[in-house]
Structure 1
């Protein structure tokens, strides 16, 4: 699904995509920041390589907004608010 989308749009990632990519990914399972980056590269067949300088500040903002929380093992997971936000995005 995501890899097909990347093939259509190429290397230009729309503003705000990273935020919703993370929320969508965390719906499936807890992930570390590194795992999120690796998954993005894998799913885009190397077209999109988000840097730690993009992902970690974004994770910080999502934490501040109460959309995700960090687990004891250093992974991130959706909160109820984050799950509702991700579900709202699915409707668009």
Structure 2
């Protein structure tokens, strides 16, 4: 017998070991993929929950406030909110325009097509919208102050 022939395994045994190794690696990668996907979904849900506080509660109020400063289009509303919040909250126009339609149905804003530059809908707050803004500002003031206090406590606990 030649040296080395004892070390060699039959070809079919080697390929079976490779198949097992590959299947084990595929399984390990799949499990890792599922864990990462689950983590990404959890993070996305948390971000959506935080975003909903802004979108559902504060966005309608802040859009009315922004329009109380002067008429403008939906895109500019988004940019103005972004500027006022130093870029920390920039609502998507995909959320602004449906909200403007809703506010228009509720007669809180009115939109008219501006044909002078490019076709765009310019919105302005109505008198009813101004009353709604003042009413909601009054109703939400305590809740916003409480939320700020809670955030201060949480921030202090976590970072001090």
TM-score tier by shorter-chain length is 0.7 to 0.9
- Helix, strand or coil at the partner of 1:40: helix
Residue 17, structure 1, aligned to residue 58, structure 2: yes
Residue 88, structure 1, aligned to residue 135, structure 2: yes
Where structure 1 has 5 or more consecutive residues not aligned to the other structure, the ranges are 1-11
After TM superposition, the structure 1 = structure 2 runs for residues 50-89 of structure 1, keeping only pairs within 5 Å, are: 50-73=91-114, 74-89=121-136
Aligned residue number for residue 37 of structure 1:
78
C-alpha distance in 2 between matches for 1:16 and 1:35: 20
Contact 2:61 2:137 in 1 (8 A): no
> Cα distance, 1:72 vs. partner?
3.9
Over alpha carbons, which structure has the higher Rg?
Answer: 2
Where structure 2 has 5 or more consecutive residues not aligned to the other structure, the ranges are 1-49, 115-120, 140-160
> Cα distance, 1:82 vs. partner?
0.6
Q: Provide the aligned C-alpha RMSD in A.
A: 1.4
Instruction: Give the 4+ runs in structure 1 shifted more than 6 A.
Output: none
> Cα distance, 1:16 vs. partner?
1.6
C-alpha distance in 2 between matches for 1:79 and 1:55: 17
**CA offset digits 1:43-90 (Å, max 9, x no partner):** 111111211111011011001111100134221011111111011123
- Helix, strand or coil at the partner of 1:77: strand
TM-score norm. by structure 2 comes to 0.47
Higher-RCO chain (CA-CA 8 Å, sequence separation at least 6): 1
Specify which structure has the higher proportion of helix. Answer: 2
